[in-house]
Each structure stands twice: as structure tokens, then as C-alpha cells.
Amino acid sequence: MSQKTYYIHTFGCQSNKSDSERIAGDYEARGYTEAADWRECDELIVNTCAIRQRAEDKAKGFLHNVRVYFNEQGTQRPKIILTGCMTHHGQEKLYEMLPIVDEILPINEVGFNSAAVRKDQKHAWIPISTGCNSFCTYCIVPYSRGREKSRDFDDIMAEVERLVAQGYEEITLLGMNVNSWGLEKLGIGFRKLMMENKEFTREDLPDNQSQYLPPTGTPPFVKLLQEISKYDQIKTIRFMTSNPWDFHDELIAEIGRNKKIDRYVHLPIQSGSDEVLYRMNRGYTTKRYIEVISKLRAADPNIVIGTDIIVGFPGETDAEFEKTVELSKEMNWKIAFVAIYSPRPGTASWRIYPDDIPHAVKKERWEILDTLINKSNLSVRPVVV
Ligand code: SAH
Ligand code: F3S
């Protein structure tokens, strides 16, 4: 009898790609082999993204193609298993939306510790945390991936050790808020508020400056970077995503002195307007963001910064958008992932703010920032510390 085969189709971010590596590990542990193509597998796993409506539409489009293909062929289609952030819809709604799906694999069942099957022989993703407690008002992640959970130090180091033995030289530590890894939780009532389904306004939401108690001594994430750096063979360490909150001075100092840490640091701003940041519940002001970047550049002038920006957030006025344009000129970001706001059902912004910026305006704002940051070779003034 021939061996059973699997194929994983992955949408979305690095965390999804990393999850897919561990899903592949689980299949191989059960004796499956990878099929070369989804048209030829026994089980097709679709790892979905839900960060914007377009991401969900892509997964729907893919499943539509799968259905059409097997209908036309008249052959038996593979068993279809759906996982990833679209699972936030819940089983019932998903089976109704996507009747082709046979099974749903909740993200937290993927776990941290299954042996990952990696295609790259030099660089490895390592998940160090999952979920998110920050509840930025626009974001689906706290609903799709659940509460933030740090992976155990010993498990992370055991994986690093295995990777070193296998010859890996570069690693990327993954999590939604890597810099809060291992911190002690403060706890917030936000989830409760949302679950109770009561009416609320922005004023009722907590500010998410940090969900954690300030660390006493060296922050755990800094210790983790130091421990991993002890392996001679590890030449480059990257991490994503970190956030302006919990970006402690000790972390900045460590990045400054530890040259194994990549000189590219990704630090999302989302908006250059403090009013918009407030509506987004980002819990920091542009002043705090600029402070972090200035300190990073003071620690090593060769550090290069990238960011994420959302345009067309509810109520974003021309003047508020202009603040983002101004900040872009000041920050000299190397790259920006500019996204058009997409209301995500169930999130706070979807509940309390109408999606009132016309698409044409969103598109225009997207163009302006993308051209300014990603397409222009203008050498703009770097931040002076
Ligand atoms: N944990 C990371 C990444 C979150 S999702 C962080 O804290 O930044 C990745 C990016 O998608 C976000 O930074 C944001 O710019 C964008 N994004 C998230 N939700 C969105 C939405 N509803 N509409 C448009 N862009 C969104
Ligand atoms: Fe999303 Fe904000 Fe967390 S962007 S992943 S809720 S930090």
C-alpha cells in the first residue's frame, strides 16, 4: 500500500508559516509524506489568515478552486482540514461558510513543541509565544490566537540546541509581542468586557501600555537573546514582532552591543497621530515611539527600522493622516507594511466606530505612504538624537 500524503497551503504571516512546519512534523510523525501538489494529496491542510477581509477572501478563493478542480476531474478530492486565524469564526459558521471543509484544527492544538519540518537548512523560525493580550481595537489576533502564552525557556533552548546540531546559523524568534516574553502578567478586564457583550465606548477600554508588571532586573526576553547568542554557530538572531510597549532600555542596550542580533528592527507604529493611536488602543504616543527609535539609533547608528501602518482607520481626518506623513519623513523607515483598514467582525473598532473612510481615500493614502517610504530613494533626514 502506498504511503498517505499531505499538502499544506499556507496564507499569512511568519507565525502561520512556522505553525505549518509543525503541522507537517505531526503528519510525518504519523507516517505521511508530503505531496508535491495539492491536486495529488490525501489530506489538504489550509492554514488561513484573517487579518484583513482580503486575506479571508484569498482562502475562500483557493478552496473554490479546489472544489472546481475536483468537480471537473471527477476524481475524489482530498480530505480538507482548515486551520489558522479564520478559525475565529467558530466551527458552526465556518462549516456553513465553507462547506468543502471536512475538519477544523484549532490553532492552539498545533502547539509549540512538535518537531518542525523545515525546508530551509540555514535559517529557522522558532515560536517563543503565541496569542496576544493587547487588544488593539482593529485586530482579530487576540480572538483568533487567544491569550498570550510564553513558551517555556527550557523548550526553546532545547529546540535551539537541536537546530545547532543540525547546522543552523540563523534564527528568528516569533510571537505577536516577542519583547513581553516571560513577563509576569498584570491582567486586564478587557476580554470580560467584550465577552459580556455590553455596550461600551472607547473610554471604557483600558489603555494597553503594557499588560505586564515591570521586570525586576534583566527582562526575560533579553536573557533569552543572551542565552541563544552563546552558541558560536548562531550568527544571526532576528525577532518579530516587538512593540513600543515593553521595549525596555535593557533590550535597546542588548541590541546595541550584541551584533548577532540583526541590525533590522521591525517596530509597528500604525499611525503618526496620537488621536488615532488612542482610538486604536495602542497604548503609546508618537513621543514614546520616537523615544524608542532614537535610543535604538543612539545605541547603534547602523540600526535600520521598519514599521507597519494602517491607513483609513475610522474617523482618520486629513490632518491626522498628515501626521503619519510627517512622521514618515522624520523616521526614515527602511520599509513599511502599509495596510488599508479592514473592519474585523467582533473586534472593538468594528463595534464602536463606523468604517467611514471611503475606499478611494484609503487607497490614495496608501499610495502616498507606499511611495514615500517604500518607493522613494530620497534620502530623508534621519532622527537626530
Ligand atoms: N503583533 C504584531 C502584528 C499584528 S498583525 C503587532 O503588534 O504589530 C500585522 C499587521 O496587520 C498589524 O501591524 C497591522 O498593521 C495590520 N492589521 C491588523 N489588523 C488590521 C485590520 N483590521 N485592518 C488593516 N490592517 C490590519
Ligand atoms: Fe494585534 Fe495589537 Fe496584538 S496589532 S497582534 S492586538 S499587539
Q: For 318-373, write each residue's pLDDT tens digit.
A: 999 999 999 999 999 999 999 999 999 999 999 999 999 999 999 999 999 999 99
User: In this structure, which residue's CA is closest to atom 13 in ligand 1?
Assistant: 308
Secondary structure letter of residue 372 according to DSSP:
I
CA of 51 to the centre of ligand 1 (A): 7
| CA 344 to ligand 1: nearest atom | 22
- Which residue puts its alpha carbon closest to atom 7 of ligand 2? 134
Q: How far apart (Å, rounded) are the C-alpha atoms in residues 207 and 281?
A: 6
What residues does ligand 1 touch, defined as CB less than 6 Å away?
Answer: 51-52, 138-139, 141, 176, 241, 243, 268, 270, 308, 310, 339, 341-342, 344
Return the biggest CA–CA distance within the chain.
68
Q: Does any ligand 2 atom lie closer than 6 A to the CB of residue 175? A: no
pLDDT tens, residue by residue, 28-49: 999 999 999 999 999 999 999 9
Ligand index nearest the alpha carbon of residue 281: 2
Tell me the mean pLDDT per 10 residues along the chain, length 385: 90 96 96 97 98 98 97 95 96 96 93 91 96 92 92 97 97 96 73 63 72 87 98 98 93 98 98 97 94 97 97 98 98 96 95 97 98 75 38
Least Cα distance to 383 among 318, 294, 268, 295 occurs for 294
Which element (helix H / strand E) includes 243? none
Burial class (CB in 10 A: 0-12, 13-18, 19+), 135: buried
Question: How many whole angstroms separate alpha carbon 349 and alpha carbon 136?
Answer: 9
H or E element that contains 100: none
Which residue among 15, 49, 132 is best mutated to probe the pocket of ligand 2, counting the most ligand atoms within 8 A of its Cβ? 132
- How far does the centroid of ligand 2 lie from the alpha carbon of residue 334, in Å? 22
Question: Would you state the pLDDT for residue 87?
Answer: 96
**DSSP states of 178-223 as a string?**
GGGTTPPB---SHHHHHHTT----GGGSPP-S-SBPPPSSS-HHHH
Coil, strand, or helix at residue 342?
A: coil
Q: What pLDDT is recorded for position 202? A: 80
Residue 363: phi and psi, rounded to 5, are: -60, -45
Residue whose CA is at the smallest distance from ligand 1 atom 10: 308
* CA of 142, nearest ligand number: 2
Among 135, 144, 147, 246, which residue has the most ligand 2 atoms within 8 Å of its CB, making it the best to mutate?
135
Nearest-CA residue for ligand 1 atom 19 is 139
In terms of Cβ atoms closer than 10 Å to its own Cβ (0-12, 13-18, 19+), residue 65 is exposed
pLDDT score for 208: 65
Residue from 51, 147, 176, 209 to probe ligand 2 pocket by mutation (most atoms less than 8 Å from CB): 176
Q: In testing the pocket of ligand 2, which one of 141, 147, 269, 350 has its CB within 8 Å of the most ligand atoms?
A: 141
* 177 ligand 2 Cβ < 6 A: yes
Would the CB of 243 count as within 6 Å of ligand 2? Answer: yes
DSSP string, 261-325: B-SEEE---B-S-HHHHHHTT----HHHHHHHHHHHHHH-TT-EEEEEEEES-TT--HHHHHHHH
Residue with the three cell numbers 474617523: 315
pLDDT of residue 385: 31
- Residue 376: its pLDDT value, please? 76
C-alpha 290 – ligand 2 centre gap (Å): 20
Q: Report pTM.
A: 0.93
Rounded to the nearest angstrom, the distance between the alpha carbon of 102 and the centre of ligand 1 is 29
